[in-house]
Structure 1
Amino acid sequence: MKAGLGSFGDITPFHSNAIFFKMSIAITLRNAAHEVGHFYFARRQGLEISYLTIRHGAGFNPQTRFDISETRFNGNVDYWFGGWAAEAYMRSHDRNAVRFRKFPFLLSVAAASYGAGWPSGLAKSNESDTASLRQTGGRWWQLIFPLLKLVRLAKTIHSERELFYRLIDYVRLEISVTGEMLSAVADKKQVTSAMRSNVLSLDVFVIKDSSRKQAF
């Protein structure tokens, strides 16, 4: 499925149900971009993601999970702010963007800051990405002045935008996936039924577990 609202252009925009549907699609797209950003930057560092979902409601929140015994996630700015950078990139660049546009990206950074819990998470008072980064050793100057880091992360995504949007398309299609499934998509390999069989049990686990980021 093509990322973006243009795929649904046949829906009459003045109908209230159609407007709600478009808003839902837009929210799903933003959530997918955000969570894919976490996976993307974990993968670049050789870190494993166990589970990712963009399901919302009925006990779910969009989230990415990993093994908490892996200390390389601690204070890892690329990972924790990767979702923020990815969402802002998606808001400002479509899959056919030829060049990176810094000014539109910076405008989108502000719009996407809520999803990263910035600046509210600086006080470590919630379960946002910003709070998680602060709680695991993130440096104050990186937390308070994130723009240069976010631009660097976005430029990295831009250099692999085909991969980035391919992952978004897959997550929007499947809703909940394992890291193994996403790695197969990233490597252009087949996602097997054996890989898919783990998703349901992980979905059930997430409903029972109230923590947002902790892993299995």
Structure 2
Amino acid sequence: MLEAAERIFGERGYQGTSMDDVAAEVGVSKPLIYQYYGSKDGLFLACLARLRAQLLETVSDAVMAATDAEDALYAGFVAWFQFLDDHPQAWSVLIDEGMLSTNPAAGPAAAATDEVRAAFIELISAMVRMNLPPGRTADNDEIEIIAQSISGATERLAIWRSRVPAPPTPEKVARTLQDLLWQGLQTLSTT
């Protein structure tokens, strides 16, 4: 059920998906889906939770397997973009514009979508903190600015890659972004 729902939410968005669509795709009755998930919001939240866990695990594993901070940045970016390539509807579900917390009709699904972003920002912040040079005091505002910037950059690149006919490989995007950001992150050691 969740795989079909993720695919339909990814193709049609939250607003364009009905429980009838999901039931027809899976070959079950609509009441059965309601029995399992309670509502369309419940089904969307289940899809989002599953995708969030898979994506966080994929990126975290790549970062933790890296040999140093520079490699961790690159590996995390590759894992992020490769996951989105391997699960094309995942990105649409994760960033469904109808789920923005500024949309009052979006309800709890919007909050859950914001939680996905927050989890990645926490992961990025932790990585920056762990790799501060010895003796460098952590500036919480600075770390938050860096984490928000990296999160925003990866989201925009993912959107761009989903819209171009022949997007660059995850490795090329990761290397370019890592090269750009690494220079700035290196200045943390002297500030």
Same fold (TM over 0.5): no
Q: TM-score range by the shorter chain?
A: 0.3 to 0.5
The structure with higher relative contact order (CA 8 Å, sep 6+) is 1
Larger fraction in strand: 1
Please state which structure has a larger fraction of its residues in helix.
Answer: 2
Tell me the TM-score normalised to structure 1 length: 0.36
For the pair shown, the structure with the greater C-alpha radius of gyration is 2
